[in-house]
Amino acid sequence: MTQALVALRKDALLQWRTRGRFVAVFVFGATALLLFSFAIGPSAGALRQHAAGFLWLALMLASTLALGDSFHGEMENRALEGLVLLPASPVALYYGKALANWAQLALLGVALVPFMVVLYDAPPGGALPLIGLILLGTAGLSFPGTLYAAMTVQVRGSQTLLPLLLFPLVVPVLLAAVSATSLVMTGDPMDQLRSWTLLLVCFDLIYASLCGLLFGRVVES
């Protein structure tokens, strides 16, 4: 646990020093939301109906930029080999990196919500349930995304390969997050929110456990 916290602190400091990249990722996500609204047209009802889906699509697309950059510093400074040689468990290094990515993606999701509300004229619903769903959904993106980012960082064309590997895996997370977010925003007359939230939690636990176990083989190969 201590090693994971040290790795988390290191990555959090690195993200803070390169916070200009976060602004660029946010602008990309906001631009994606704007382009999605053009595809729907001027219908206010249709915009509100698809607001939750477009929010998560924009967040998923923007996440590939943030996740791809998470190992960029290690590759530039040839520090990836040094991380492997440290007297620390690869599992601890993975969870430190994944938690830092999770915090960044969750902050990105929360930052995109006001933009989505204004652009799509969508009711945000309860603030706490919406933030909770963003935390659960971004966890489902962060845990496998961190593993795939480590796998592709040394491959030519990693920015293209990362979404090709990540998107098919996180389809269940995306479906559950979109459905649950839509219920929070528009109402839940049939009490389905609990089921979708439980599904999100299950996938988060599966990804967190399996990806942590596989990370050591990825960085050593």
pTM for the model stands at 0.86
More confident of the two residues 187 and 16: 187
Tens digits of per-residue pLDDT, 4-37? 666 666 666 666 666 778 888 899 999 999 888 8
Tracing tokens 């040689």 back to the chain, one arrives at 85
The span from the CA of 26 to the CA of 20, in Å, is 10
Provide the token pair at 67: 């996740």
* pLDDT of 90 strictly over 60: yes
Provide the token pair at 146: 């961190």
* pLDDT of 41 strictly over 90: no
pLDDT at 106 (0 to 100): 93
Closest CA to 137 of 92, 199, 190, 81: 199
Residue type at 201 in one-letter notation: V
Tens digits of per-residue pLDDT, 128-163? 888 999 999 999 999 999 888 888 877 776 677 888
Where residue 73 falls among pLDDT bands split at 50, 70, 90? low
Residue type at 220 in one-letter notation: E
* pLDDT of 58 strictly over 80: yes
pLDDT at 163 (0 to 100): 86
Range 109-118 average pLDDT: 90
pLDDT at 139 (0 to 100): 93
Range 163-180 average pLDDT: 91
Percent pLDDT > 70 in the chain is 81
Provide the token pair at 8: 């988390």
